[in-house]
Chains A and B, each alone.
Chain A
Amino acid sequence: MVQIIDPKYKDADYQRQVTARRRQKGKRFQALGIAALAVAGLMLAALLYSIVSNGARGLMEDRIAVEVYFDPAKIDPKGTGELSVMRKFNYDTLVYPTLYEALGIKAKGRSDRDKRRKVKQLIGLGASNQLREMVVREVGRDPISDEAILVSGGTQLGDTVMVELTALSTSANPYTQTLRDLGMLHTRFNGDFFTGVNSNDPGYYGILDALVGSFWTLLVCFLASFPVAVLTAVYLEEFAPRNLITDFIEVNINNLAAVPSIVFGLMGAFVFIFVFGMPGGTALVGGLVLSLLTLPTIIVAARAAIRAVPGSYREAALGLGASRQQAMWSFVLPSAMPGIITGTIIGLAGALGETAPLLFIGMVGFQSGIPLTPVDGTPTLAVGIYNAFGSQFDELKNQLSNSTIIVLLVLLMLLNGTAAYLRYRSEKRQ
Chain B
Amino acid sequence: MSDDEIRMSCKGVDVAYWGELAIKNVSMDILSKKVTAFIGPSGCGKSTFLRALNRMNDTIDGCQVTGEIKLDGNDIYAKGMDTVFLRQWVGMVFQKPNPFPKSIYENVAYGPRIHGLFRTKSELDDIVEQSLMGAGLWDEVKDRLRNPGTGLSGGQQQRLCIARAIAVNPEVILMDEPASALDPIATRKIESLIKSLAENYTIVIVTHSMAQAQRVSDKTAFFYAASLTEDDDSNLIEYGDTDQVFNNPIDERTRQYVEGAFG
Closest partner residue, chain A, to B133 (CB atom): A2
Enumerate chain B residues within 8 angstroms of A15, measured Cβ to Cβ: 85, 88, 115
Known: A2-B134, A4-B130, A15-B115. A10 touches B169 (CB 8 A): yes
Enumerate chain A residues within 8 angstroms of B118, measured Cβ to Cβ: 5-6, 9
* CB <8 Å contact, A19 and B130: no
Instruction: Produce 1/0 per residue, A21-44, CB < 8 A to B.
Output: 011000000000000000000000
* CB <8 Å contact, B169 and A3: yes
Enumerate chain B residues within 8 angstroms of A4, measured Cβ to Cβ: 127, 130-131, 134, 166-167, 169
Give chain B's interface residues, CB within 8 Å of chain A: 82, 84-85, 88, 112, 114-118, 123, 127, 130-131, 134, 166-169, 199-200
* CB <8 Å contact, A5 and B127: yes
CA distance A9 to B84 in the complex (A): 15
Contact among B82, B169, B199 for A5, CB-based, below 8 A: B169
Q: Give chain B's interface secondary structure class.
A: helix
Question: Measured between C-beta atoms, what is the minimum distance from A149 to chain B in Å?
Answer: 77
Give chain A's interface residues, CB within 8 Å of chain B: 1-6, 9-10, 15-16, 18-19, 22-23
The 10 sampled A-B contact pairs (Cβ below 8 Å) are A1-B200, A2-B130, A4-B130, A5-B168, A9-B117, A10-B117, A10-B169, A19-B84, A23-B82, A23-B84
Q: Give chain A's interface secondary structure class.
A: helix
Closest partner residue, chain A, to B85 (CB atom): A19
CA distance A229 to B112 in the complex (A): 56
Enumerate chain B residues within 8 angstroms of A23, measured Cβ to Cβ: 82, 84
Question: Measured between C-beta atoms, what is the minimum distance from B195 to chain A in Å?
Answer: 15
* CB <8 Å contact, B114 and A22: yes
Enumerate chain B residues within 8 angstroms of A6, measured Cβ to Cβ: 117-118, 123
Enumerate chain A residues within 8 angstroms of B116, measured Cβ to Cβ: 9, 18
Enumerate chain B residues within 8 angstroms of A1, measured Cβ to Cβ: 199-200
Closest partner residue, chain A, to B115 (CB atom): A18
* CB <8 Å contact, A22 and B84: yes
Enumerate chain A residues within 8 angstroms of B84, measured Cβ to Cβ: 19, 22-23
Enumerate chain B residues within 8 angstroms of A19, measured Cβ to Cβ: 82, 84-85
Question: Measured between C-beta atoms, what is the minimum distance from A297 to chain B in Å?
Answer: 33
CA distance A6 to B167 in the complex (A): 11
Question: Measured between C-beta atoms, what is the minimum distance from B203 to chain A in Å?
Answer: 14
CA distance A6 to B115 in the complex (A): 13
Question: Measured between C-beta atoms, what is the minimum distance from A112 to chain B in Å?
Answer: 76
Enumerate chain B residues within 8 angstroms of A9, measured Cβ to Cβ: 115-118
Question: Measured between C-beta atoms, what is the minimum distance from A292 to chain B in Å?
Answer: 40
Closest partner residue, chain B, to A20 (CB atom): B82
Question: Measured between C-beta atoms, what is the minimum distance from A315 to chain B in Å?
Answer: 30
CA distance A22 to B87 in the complex (A): 14
Closest partner residue, chain A, to B84 (CB atom): A19
Contact among A2, A5, A16 for B200, CB-based, below 8 A: A2
Question: Measured between C-beta atoms, what is the minimum distance from B108 to chain A in Å?
Answer: 10
Enumerate chain B residues within 8 angstroms of A22, measured Cβ to Cβ: 84, 114
List the 3 closest pairs (A to B, CB-CB), nearest first.
A9-B117, A18-B116, A4-B169
* CB <8 Å contact, A16 and B85: yes
CA distance A6 to B122 in the complex (A): 13
Closest partner residue, chain B, to A9 (CB atom): B117
Most buried by A among B117, B123, B134, B166: B117
Closest partner residue, chain B, to A1 (CB atom): B200
CA distance A2 to B196 in the complex (A): 11
Enumerate chain A residues within 8 angstroms of B88, measured Cβ to Cβ: 10, 15
Enumerate chain A residues within 8 angstroms of B167, measured Cβ to Cβ: 4-5
CA distance A2 to B169 in the complex (A): 9
Closest partner residue, chain B, to A7 (CB atom): B169
CA distance A22 to B130 in the complex (A): 26
CA distance A315 to B127 in the complex (A): 59
CA distance A4 to B111 in the complex (A): 12
Question: Measured between C-beta atoms, what is the minimum distance from B124 to chain A in Å?
Answer: 10
Question: Measured between C-beta atoms, what is the minimum distance from B147 to chain A in Å?
Answer: 22
Question: Measured between C-beta atoms, what is the minimum distance from B45 to chain A in Å?
Answer: 30
CA distance A16 to B116 in the complex (A): 11
Enumerate chain B residues within 8 angstroms of A16, measured Cβ to Cβ: 85
Most buried by A among B116, B123, B200: B116
CA distance A9 to B169 in the complex (A): 10
Question: Measured between C-beta atoms, what is the minimum distance from A253 to chain B in Å?
Answer: 32
CA distance A9 to B131 in the complex (A): 16
Closest partner residue, chain A, to B129 (CB atom): A4
Enumerate chain A residues within 8 angstroms of B115, measured Cβ to Cβ: 9, 15, 18
Enumerate chain A residues within 8 angstroms of B134, measured Cβ to Cβ: 2, 4
CA distance A23 to B131 in the complex (A): 26
Question: Measured between C-beta atoms, what is the minimum distance from A24 to chain B in Å?
Answer: 12
Most buried by B among A16, A18, A23: A18
CA distance A6 to B168 in the complex (A): 10
